[in-house]
Amino acid sequence: MYSITYKYKGVAMMEIPEKLSLMIEEYLNKWMKLNGTPGLSLAITDRDRMIASYCIGKADISSHRPVSPHTLFQIGSVSKSFTCIALLQLAEKGVIDLNKKIVSYLPWFETKSGHEDITIHHMMTHTSGLIIGSDALPTAESEVWSLRLTDATSPKGSHFHYSNSAYKTLGILLETITGDNYENIMRDRILKPLGMDSTEPVIRNNIKERSAVGYSPLYDDRPFIAGAALSPSTWFESNTADGSISSTGADMCAYMRMLLNQGRHPEGRILAEEIFEKMVSPYVDTNDGVHGRSYGYGLNIEEIDGNPGLGHQGGMVGFYTSMLMDSVKGIGVIVMINGPGEPYDVAKAVLGIVGSNGSGTPPVPKDPALIGDPMDWVGRYVSRTETIEFLSRDGRVYLSCEGKEHQAIEIDRGAIYVNAPTKELCAFGLKKRDGRVVGVTHGHSMYQKEGEEIPSSIIIPDEWKAYSGHYRSHNPWLNNFRIVLRDSGLVMIYPMGQEEPLTWLDDGSFRIGADPMSPERISFDAIIDGRALIAHLSGGGMYGRTFTT
C-alpha cells in the first residue's frame, strides 16, 4: 500500500502567458491534493499547435518515477470516438451502411428480445437498449456472445443508455468487415495520419514500462477520502473498441486539433466535411449529467460557457481521462490521471482560464469537505437502535456520534461519507418528502429526523430478506457491492457510495436503477438457510455472498 506526499513540480512547455500558467499550476496542485490524485498529465491545444503541457506527480509511487511528457495513460472511453471515425470512414466509402441492422453484418448477434432492429447507428449513439456491459469475461467476443442472456429494453434510436457492450460489438464489426485487427485499424486509419506515434491502440504487457501505474483505494469496499492509502490497480491486456487506447498529452492534442478543424489535419482529412458533421450532430439527449447535453458518434455534445463544444470522459481500472473542446474559441484540453479524482472538473476549469485569458475570478477546486446545502443535514435522527446528530459549521457537516464529532465529505448531491466507527462502509443519503428532509439512510438503516414522519413503507416479501448481503467477484471493474433491505425496498450500494433502487420484475429478477427503460438486471439464486449465495448481473457477471457485511 502507498500513501502520497504532495510535493508536486510541473514539467511544462508554454506558449501561453505566465499569468495563465501560474493560475493553472495553482489550480492543479490544489485539486490533486484535495482528491488524492497520484499523477496527472494535462495538455492544451489550439487549432494549430499544442500551447501548454503539464506533467505533475508520480507515474509510479513506489519507484518515485515522475509523470513525463512520454508517460502513457489509458484513456478509456475517449477511445470510442476513434472507433466511430473508423466506422464513418467505411461508411464514406460505401462499405457499410450505418442505418443497416447489425445482424446483417454479424448474423450471430443476439439478445433475448429486441436485437433484430438494432442498427450500427443505434450502437454508436448508445440508443440500442443494450446493457452497459458486465466485463465479466476478458474478450469482446465472449461478452457480446453473452448478450443473448439479456434484453434490449428501450425503443431503438430514442432513449440514451450508455453501453460499452455496444461498442465492443462495433469493434468486432470493424474487424469482420475489414479482415484486419483493431490494433492495425486504429494505427493505419487514425494514429499514423495524425502523427500520434507514441499512442498505443491496445493494452499489451509490453507497454507497461512506458505506462503510468493505475491506483485504486486500498480499501475497495467503501468511499475514498483524499489522503487514504492507495494500491496499484489490476493490470490487464485489452483490445476492445469501447476503450483500449493509451496515449500522451501531445498525441491527444494532435487528435483534438483534427476535431477542432472539422476532420482536417496538416496532411489532408481524416473525414470528409459532410461526414464529420454527422459525427458531431446531436442525435439524442443524454439526461444523465455525465455525457454532455446530447450525444453524437462517440462524442459528447457540450456547452462550454455558452459556446458549442465537444468532449468525452474515460475511465479504466485506476485511470480517468477527460477531453474537452470549445468549438468556437478553438481550444482543447486533455486531462489524464492515474488514480482518484474527476478530471472533467479540471478540464472545464482550465478551458475557462485559457478561454477567458485569465480574466475574472480564478477557479477554485471543489473541496469535498464543503457540503452543498449543509443545513439540509442539521438535526437529530433516530433509528431502531441509536440516535445520531449532524452539525454544521462554515459549510462543513459533522456527525456527532457516541460523544465524538466526525467530519463528512460530499460524494454526490444529497450524499455524504463519514469515516467513523461502524459508519465507514457506506454513505449517508438524505430522505426527503415534499422538498423537506424527513430522514437519512445509511446501509440497511433508516434514521427518522426528530419532529418528522417518514412515509409508510411498502410491504416487503419475506423472500427478499434472503438477498441482503455483501457480494464479491474477481472482476476488477466492479469487484463488490452490497444489497440492503430498507423499509422502501431493496437497494444496491456500490463501493464508492452510489446507490440504486431495485425494482422487482415478473420474471423474478430486479431492474437496477430508477429508469423504467433500463436493461440492467440482477437476480439471486442458491438460497440456503434463508440466504442467497449468488447474485447474477446482466451479461453473465456472477458474484458470491461473502462473510463480510
pLDDT at 13: 54
**Residue 41 exposure: Cα atoms within 13 Å on the Cβ side:** 28
pLDDT at 407: 97
Return d(Cα 238, Cα 244) in angstroms, integer: 6
Cα R_g (the chain), whole angstroms:
24
pLDDT at 488: 87
Non-local CB neighbours of 492 within 8 Å, separated by 6+ positions: 481, 482, 483, 499, 500, 501, 502, 512, 522
Identify the structural domains of the chain with CATH numbers, from first to last: 35-60+202-355 (3.40.710.10), 82-178 (no CATH), 374-449 (2.40.128.50), 462-545 (2.40.128)
C-beta separation of 196 from 321 below 8 A: no
- Beta strands 39-45 and 521-528 are unpaired
pLDDT digit string (tens) for the chain, length 549 residues:
333 333 334 444 558 888 899 999 999 999 999 999 999 999 999 999 999 999 999 999 999 999 999 999 999 999 999 999 999 999 999 999 999 999 999 999 999 877 788 999 999 999 999 999 988 888 999 999 999 999 999 889 999 999 999 999 999 999 999 999 999 999 999 999 999 999 999 999 999 999 999 999 999 999 999 999 999 999 999 999 999 999 999 999 999 999 999 999 999 999 999 999 999 999 999 989 899 999 999 999 999 989 999 999 999 999 999 999 999 999 999 999 999 999 999 999 999 999 988 888 889 999 999 999 999 999 999 998 999 999 999 999 999 988 899 999 999 889 999 999 999 999 999 999 999 999 999 999 999 999 998 877 778 999 999 999 999 999 999 999 999 999 889 999 999 999 999 999 999 999 999 999 999 999 999 999 999 999 999 988 899 999 999
pLDDT at 2: 34
- The answer to pTM > 0.85 is yes
* Nine cell digits for residue 427: 454513505
- Beta strands 307-316 and 300-304 are antiparallel
Locate all alpha helices (DSSP H) within 288-426, ordered by sequence.
Answer: 343-355
Range 127-140 burial, b when 16+ CB lie within 10 A, else e: bbbbbbbbbbbeeb
- Measuring CA to CA, which residue among 191, 169, 172, 168 is closest to residue 180? 172
Return d(Cα 409, Cα 432) in angstroms, integer: 20
pLDDT at 6: 33
> Cell 470549445 belongs to which residue?
326
pLDDT at 11: 45
Report the 3 state secondary structure along 209-261.
HHECCCEEECCCCCCCCCCCCEEECCCCCECCCCCCCEECHHHHHHHHHHHHC
Beta pairing partners, 524? 535
Residue 447 carries which side chain, given as an amino acid letter? Y
- Measuring CA to CA, which residue among 43, 10, 31 is closest to residue 247? 43
C-beta separation of 226 from 215 below 8 A: no
pLDDT at 5: 33
pLDDT at 362: 86
